[in-house]
Amino acid sequence: MPEPLGDISFTWPFFAAALIGYLIGSIPFGLVLTKMAGLGDVRKIGSGNIGATNVLRTGKKGLALATLLLDGGKGALVVLLANHFFTQDYAVLAGGGAFLGHLYPVWLKFKGGKGVATFIGVMLAISWPAGIGVALTWLLTALIFRISSLAALIAAALAPLYLYLLKIYSPFGGSYFGDTQRIEFAAAMAVLIFLRHRENIARLVKGTEPRIGAGKKS
**Tens of pLDDT along 153-165?**
999 999 999 999 9
pTM, rounded to two decimals: 0.91
3-class secondary-structure state, position 205: helix
Q: How many CA atoms lie within 13 A of 24 on its CB side?
A: 26
Average pLDDT across each block of 10 residues of the chain; the chain has 218 residues. List them in order.
Answer: 53 89 97 94 90 90 96 98 93 97 96 96 96 98 96 98 92 76 97 97 95 62
> What pLDDT was estimated at residue 215?
47
Would you state the pLDDT for residue 51?
93
What is 31-97 written as a DSSP string?
HHHHHHTT---GGGSTT---SHHHHGGGT-HHHHHHHHHHHHHHHHHHHHHHHHHS-HHHHHHHHHH
- How does pLDDT run across 118-136, given as a tens digit for each residue? 999 999 999 999 999 999 9
Q: Note the pLDDT of residue 164.
A: 95
Short-list 74, 76, 66, CA closest to 30: 66
CA dihedral of residues 64, 65, 68, 69 (deg, nearest 10)? -150
List all residues 6 or more positions away from 136 whose beta carbon is below 8 Å from its beta carbon. none
The residue type found at 204 is L
- Is the distance from CB of 159 to CB of 115 less than 8 angstroms? no
Q: Of all helices (H) and strands (E), which one includes residue 106?
A: none
| Alpha-carbon torsion, ordered 63, 64, 69, 74, to 10 deg | 90
**Alpha-carbon gap, residue 105 to 101, rounded angstroms:** 5
HSE at residue 65, side-chain half, CA atoms within 13 A, is: 3
pLDDT of 117 = 97
C-beta atoms surrounding 28 within 10 Å = 25
> What do you get for the CA distance between the two ends of the chain, in Å?
36
Helices and strands: H and E segment counts in the chain: 10, 0
